Amino acid sequence: MRTQVGIVGSGPAGLLLSQLLHLQGIEAVILERRSRHYVEGRIRAGVLEQGTVDVLSEAGVGERMRCEGLVHEGIQLSVHGRLHRVDFKALVGGAVTVYGQTEVTKDLINARLAADGQIAFEAEDVTIHGFDGDQPRIRFRQDGRRRELACDFIAGCDGFHGVCRQSVPQAALTIHERVYPFAWLGMLVEAPPVSDELIYAYHERGFALFSMRSPARSRLYIQCTPDEDLDAWPDQRIWDELRARLGGETADALPTGPSIEKSFAPMRSFVAEPMRFGRLFLAGDAAHIVPPTGAKGLNLAVADVRVLARGLAAFYTSGRTDLLESYSATCLRRVWKAQRFSWWMTSMLHRFPGRNPYDDRVQLAELDYLVSSRAAQQALAENYVGLPFEAEE
Ligand SMILES: Cc1cc2nc3c(=O)[nH]c(=O)nc-3n(C[C@H](O)[C@H](O)[C@H](O)COP(=O)(O)OP(=O)(O)OC[C@H]3O[C@@H](n4cnc5c(N)ncnc54)[C@H](O)[C@@H]3O)c2cc1C
């Protein structure tokens, strides 16, 4: 088998890259470890920056998102039960779109398959070779048979636990990492949202986030310890905890309903630098992850592959290599700003067990400053709706 770009992973990064390349007349094959059913059902992110919405629309997969996505012009901050609105439209003239990652994934898979795009689901034992030379190859097993895909470039879009980053010699990578002493317990429920906008709640019992996926489905998160047992969290306990942390009128008005899914998300900040090794390009969670408080993970994956698709298009149309050479530096500028924002939102809104009380007081002062200062809210809004793509992106 041969193709121009071999892509490992059919998350948002791999799927969108393949779609953007297709629109440029560049061939790609995706190798995905999981089944289509599994990939389409994975519950994850839900907040799309305007830039992400634009890229998906330009990629020809924006139709359902424009009909079903919920445009949010602000968020609510709840501090000890009191709500404060951050008005994105008034502060920075922007908005975000709430549209589940599952839906983005389905739209991309449908678009790829409708155009005869090649996605090899349930590709096992994927290994990558020769990316430091000019004949990269991807070996894998499918239906019990060993296979090899020869390509010009490999895109490592295989997420945090994938094989591509781990195939790079350790000495060639610099890892930056911060692990937080808490996790999120998430629950997707058949219940209408209590609020038109997301509510980020600081409370002495811990952080809570009220969000939604549609007018009929809510997505709830509460801060918990990293080693919790899911069985210890029946639905009622999660509702009670959420109510306690949201407080006030929101807690009283909260509609409840049956849960559809529950899961833990560990909280970690991670960047592997650089994002390119010869003919291997890492994109999305394969290169960096953020705690979900800033809603940046999916958006960064989209920003990376936008840069990569442009670099590959320039290479194939005119032989230019400069955009591929600057790929890592270009992406990392945005990545580090999203790292900073995600770390800041996480640090400001969570309780840190066993911390110096001085730090707790500074945290409360930070929140007090934020809810009382237009300048501070403007900085939050600018980052939350998404920093503009730079010219070279
Ligand atoms: C539980 C959870 C909750 C999250 N919540 C939010 C949120 O609320 N907001 C937000 O912005 N972000 C959130 N994120 C982050 C966001 O979902 C990710 O940033 C996004 O999925 C990144 O897309 P990706 O394509 O880079 O990686 P992924 O979506 O991880 O896709 C990688 C793909 O590669 C495949 N793969 C892995 N290893 C191999 C292999 N060896 N061979 C072949 N295929 C392989 C995987 O099966 C997967 O399909 C969350 C992440 C998790 C894990």
| pLDDT band of 99, cuts 50, 70, 90 | very high
Q: Is 142 exposed, middle or buried (0-12, 13-18, 19+ CB in 10 A)?
A: middle
Tracing tokens 């003239």 back to the chain, one arrives at 93
Find out whether 265 and 187 touch, Cβ atoms under 8 Å. no
Residue 159: band (very low, low, confident or very high) from pLDDT cuts 50, 70, 90: very high
Contact 306, 389 (CB under 8 A): yes
Q: Decide if pLDDT at 3 tops 70.
A: yes
Cα 277 to Cα 273, 314, 331, distances in angstroms: 10, 19, 14
Give the model's pLDDT for residue 45. Answer: 84
pLDDT tens digits for range 12-47? 999 999 999 999 999 999 999 999 999 999 888 889
Query: Which ranges constitute the DSSP H helices of 209-352?
Result: 235-246, 248-253, 297-318, 322-325, 327-349
Question: What is the pLDDT, as a whole number, of residue 341?
Answer: 98
Contact of 370 with 74, CB cutoff 8 Å: no
> Does the Cβ of 83 fall within 6 Å of ligand 1?
no
Ligand 1 atom closest to the Cα of residue 14 is 25
Q: Is pLDDT of 165 > 70? A: yes
Q: In the predicted model, what is the mean pLDDT of residues 305-319?
A: 98
89 annotated active-site: no
Q: Looking at ligand 1, which atom is closest to the CA of residue 101?
A: 17
Q: How confident is the model at residue 213, as a pLDDT?
A: 85
Tell me: pLDDT of 393 over 80. Answer: no
Model confidence over 335-372: pLDDT tens digits? Answer: 999 999 999 999 999 999 999 999 999 999 999 999 99
Distance 291 CA to ligand 1 centre (A): 13
Q: Per-residue pLDDT averaged across 165-194, rounded?
A: 97
The answer, yes or no, to whether any atom of ligand 1 lies below 6 A from the CB of 49, is no
pLDDT value at residue 392: 63
pLDDT in tens, 259-297: 999 999 999 999 999 999 999 999 999 999 999 999 999
Mean pLDDT of 47-70: 97
Catalytic choice (180, 221, 327, 384): 384
pLDDT at residue 10 tops 90: yes
Place of tokens 């529950």: 262
pLDDT at 55 exceeding the cut of 90: yes
Distance, CA of 225 to CA of 170 (rounded, Å): 31
pLDDT value of position 44: 84
pTM of whole model > 0.85?
A: yes
Query: Of residues 200, 221, 316, 327, which has the active-site annotation?
Result: 200
Dihedrals φ, ψ of 351, to 5°?
Answer: -90, 135
Q: CA 34 → CA 41, 47, 137, 298, 356, distances in Å?
A: 11, 24, 20, 19, 44
**Residue 75 pLDDT class (50, 70, 90 cuts):** very high
Q: Cα(182)–Cα(206) distance, rounded to whole angstroms? A: 10
Looking at ligand 1, which atom is closest to the CA of residue 297? 19
Tell the residue nearest (CA) to atom 20 of ligand 1: 298
pLDDT of residue 43: 82
* Ligand 1 close to Cβ of residue 29 (< 6 A): no
DSSP for 185-244 reads: EEEEESS--SSSS-EEEE-TT--EEEEEEETTEEEEEEEE-TT--GGG--HHHHHHHHHH
Q: How confident is the model at residue 84 (pLDDT cuts 50, 70, 90)?
A: very high
Q: Under 8 Å CB-to-CB from 345, ≥6 apart: which residues?
A: 200, 291, 293, 294, 380
Q: Count CA atoms within 13 Å of residue 390 on its CB side.
A: 13
Average pLDDT over residues 175-199: 96
| CA distances, 357 to each of 24, 352, 353, 354 (Å) | 56, 10, 10, 8
